Amino acid sequence: MIDLVKTQQQFIKNLEMSGKSFNTIKNYRADLQVFNRFLASHKRSMTLKTFTVTQVQEYAGFLEKTYGSPNSIRRRVQALRLFFDFLVREHKFPDNPIKLVPVAAKLLEKPTPPSFKDLIRLKDSLRNRINKLEGLERLMNLRNLLVVAMIYETGIKVSDLARLEMSDILPDKHGLRLLVRPLKREPYSIPLSSNFKTLWNEYMSEFKIHWPGPGEIRYVLFNANPHRILSGSLSPRGTELFFEEVRKILKIEVTARTVRQACVFKWMAAQIGESQIKEWLGVAPDYDLSLYNQAFNATKETPVYLDLNYA
């Protein structure tokens, strides 16, 4: 018999220790609360001894009635499935009953990248701050511009961005390449523009002035307040907070995810082949880009997505 609330807290703690982003952990917590509400609505105890096939089917029916979106249902089933996997690993439950719930295929959502004009606004806003500021605040805004540049030029995910090391910025005969090292895939590299190289040199020059040590700089990004660098590497949550601030200040709808989508549009505008785009995105060869193609062909964007000038 297990105390669900206490065990769910242990599960969330385990996710935090594994490096999951703030939003991912928040979503898992919310999804488990849905399961708890299901138990409460059926007058079930929060001290769980068994979870039968009938109860599994009842939960599946509860989700179908409560949530219209197949993706919402899929996410909540997946969260509970991972929770019971955790219980099995911890020897708190004999097996995973949620494997009996069929999971619908994930429905791909239409990409909604920010307009190229909004990307220019974002870049110009950061560049204006950089030019007006000094010291660590200037470096922090250079870091933020570098975050935008790396996502827009390579489509890198924030989880991979947080683990980028200096050795992942590779020299190339045409300038620089970014080595992406996903946790569950083989590493791959993506070319960076000459504009990025100029920004990179500016960033590194400033970073070396403020790096407190000890030792050499390891991570590309860093966490800091206006007074001092706190640690090497910027967490996924730190990146999310930066984009939250952008949305409030500039009143534009932009996230790391939608900038990644803009990157795909930029590649399409440059007539990069689909197989190459999939390789650079780090997705499987059978990944469906049809929604990207439809949205790109329907866009009235003028000018079309181009390289940004970060100066």
pLDDT greater at residue 67 or residue 304? 304
**pLDDT value, residue 304:** 86
**pLDDT value, residue 40:** 87
Q: Would you kindly state where each structural domain of the chain is located, as residue ranges?
A: 2-100, 116-298
pLDDT category at 258 given cuts 50, 70, 90 is very high
Is the pLDDT assigned to residue 68 strictly greater than 70? Answer: no
pLDDT in tens, 220-234: 999 998 889 987 889
**pLDDT value, residue 50:** 76
Residue 77 in contact with residue 30, Cβ under 8 Å?
A: no
- HEC string of 231-253 equals EECCCHHHHHHHHHHHHHHHCCC
Angle at 156 between CA 11 and CA 288, to 5 degrees: 90
Is the pLDDT assigned to residue 106 strictly greater than 60? Answer: no
| Predicted TM-score (pTM) of this structure | 0.72
According to the per-residue pLDDT averaged within each range, which of 17-31, 107-121, 131-145 is highest? 131-145
Distance of CA 139 to the CA centre of its chain: 23
**pLDDT value, residue 108:** 62
**pLDDT value, residue 123:** 98
What are the DSSP E strand ranges found in the chain? 2-3, 47-48, 169-172, 175-180, 188-192, 222-224, 229-232
Give me the CATH topology for the region 2-100.
Answer: DNA polymerase; domain 1 (1.10.150)
pLDDT category at 104 given cuts 50, 70, 90 is low
pLDDT in tens, 261-302: 999 999 999 999 999 999 999 888 888 899 999 999 888 767
Q: Does domain 116-298 have CATH number 3.40.718.10?
A: no
Looking at every residue in the chain, the average pLDDT score rounds to: 89
**pLDDT value, residue 310:** 96
pLDDT category at 144 given cuts 50, 70, 90 is very high
